[in-house]
Amino acid sequence: MSTLQILQDQHHIVGRARELTSLLACVRAERHVLLEGPVGVGKTAIARAVAEALGRGLVRVDGDGRYSEARLVGQFDPPMVLERGYVPEAFRAGPLVRAMQEGAVLLLNELNRMPEGVQNVLLPALDEGLVYVPHFGAVRAAPGFLVLATQNPAEFVATADLSEALLDRFELVRLDYQGADEEAQIVRQEARCAPSEEIIREAVAITRATRGDSRVRRGASVRAAVAIADLAAQLDGDVSRAAELALPTRIELMEERSGDLQALLDELKKKSSPMSSATPR
């Protein structure tokens, strides 16, 4: 069995053969990788699966606008510094230094949500495998250190473009939404409430319809289809009602006006399936 098949089977990854083989090629060549794609397409799951396949430790960081350089690199314990000074034992390694020391994979989730200062700290680590910490000294990466980062496209809220200097240190693997058949397979796999095939088809159809509407800035991912299918299974097959519960938190309209969301949901339900307006099964 190939490494690709093992990854798909062990980590329950549906499809993604091209993306997985590209990512495997990059990491085998010891290249840092940036995975780009909308929310819910499996970027983090794929990165985690590949890190495990490498047999290396994984250090994960979830990015946001408040994440600081000190938190990423590490900092000294103030009480111990007062007592003993800047001794190595007083330093508390952050995720970056820990991954470098252990020769582990550093997974930076949603890198483009992090402040620019945090991104700049990564440059010498990516370029030279080196980070300098004041009062502690230089930290050199052990063999095996690798960075896998994910980012959402620029149109997503609270994201910023990565600098050219940082992008130049990464190889890029893009992930887009999958086809309807693969998304249906994901719903079958992930749903907890044993939805029927009809419910699964309708849940996938209405979710996919959110991505092609000009009034929608950000459509729903397959996570929404899983939620709709599970909810509908608990609502006697009422996919319309399930969609009303699941979609409002998972899509973003171009213009937020009172009544717009409900009107859009009504249209999407009619468009996605003529069965959706029928009496609940």
pLDDT tens digit string along 245-258?
999 999 888 776 54
- d(Cα 45, Cα 54) in Å, to the nearest integer? 14
Handedness of CA 117, 122, 128, 129 (dihedral sign): positive
For residue 100, what are the CA distances in angstroms to 96, 129, 131, 134, 144?
6, 8, 9, 17, 8
Amino acid identity at 185? Q
CB 107 within 8 A of CB 48: yes
Q: Domain extents for the chain?
A: 3-174, 180-277
- List the alpha helices (DSSP H) in 115-179: 116-128, 164-167
For residue 143, what are the CA distances in angstroms to 33, 34, 94, 97, 214?
17, 20, 18, 13, 48
Pick the CATH number of 3-174 from 3.20.190.10, 3.40.50.720, 3.40.190.290, 3.40.50.300: 3.40.50.300
Q: Which of 75, 100, 102 minimizes the C-alpha distance to 90?
A: 75
pLDDT tens digit string along 115-159?
888 888 999 999 999 999 998 989 999 999 999 999 987 655 545
Bridge-based pairing state of the strands 171-174 and 146-151: unpaired
Q: Which of 154, 165, 100, 85 minimizes the C-alpha distance to 130?
A: 100
Per-residue pLDDT of the chain (281 residues; tens, 9 = 90+): 788 888 888 888 999 999 999 999 999 999 999 999 998 999 989 998 988 888 888 999 998 888 888 899 999 989 998 988 889 888 999 999 999 999 999 999 999 888 888 888 999 999 999 999 998 989 999 999 999 999 987 655 545 678 899 999 999 999 999 999 999 999 999 999 999 999 999 999 999 999 877 888 889 999 999 999 999 999 999 999 999 999 999 988 877 654 577 777 777 777 765 544 443 43
